[in-house]
Amino acid sequence: MKHVILAFVLLVFSGAMARADMAPSVMAMQPQIKLGIGARPAVMFVHLHNKGAATRLIGAKSDAFERIELHTHEMNGGMMRMVAVTDFAVPANGMLHLKPGGHHLMMFGFRGAASQAVSVTLSFANGDELTVEAVPSARAKTHHGH
């Protein structure tokens, strides 16, 4: 039975089927990947719109990067610093914004080409996966703590 469900989910993700009850409830909007300068990691921003029950973003992977971590900013002794976290809450019928100065994905070991689209698969605690595509762009020289 698991194989049947997996095959169905793969069909839904490939876009071969119309939206069904088992389709992922999270949609991605405005994905951006900014490449790091020199050996610095890249960063990904995206707006996730959840049309279903609350879940958590628990990971991300991409063939174009060695590893991807979930990061956020927090105040510590009056200083803003970046910290790795295990997940981000995705509220029911709500939005999760991955954005500069807030939650974001840190992407290490870029193996792709700057002008070619990269696929990033986001994993959620409810078992859903969502593949997002973005063309990486060079980061502006004025960076803030990255």
Region of residue 22 (left: phi > 0; alpha: psi -120 to 50; beta: else): alpha
The whole-chain average pLDDT of the chain stands at 84
Residue located via tokens 């959620």:
124
pLDDT in tens, 82-123: 899 999 999 999 999 999 989 999 999 999 887 899 999 999
pLDDT in tens, 60-91: 999 999 999 999 988 888 898 889 999 999 99
Global confidence as pTM: 0.78
Is the model's pLDDT at 2 over the cut of 60? no
Is the model's pLDDT at 135 over the cut of 50? yes
**Contact in structure between 56 and 90 (CB atoms under 8 Å):** yes
For residue 82, the model assigns a pLDDT of 87
**Would you call 127 exposed, middle or buried from its count of C-beta atoms within 10 A (0-12, 13-18, 19+)?**
exposed
Task: Kindly report the CATH class assigned to 23-138.
Answer: mainly beta
Concatenated DSSP letters for 52-94?
SS-EEEEEEE-TTEEEEEEEEEEEETTEEEEEEES-EEE-TTS
Q: Hey, where are the domains in the chain?
A: 23-138
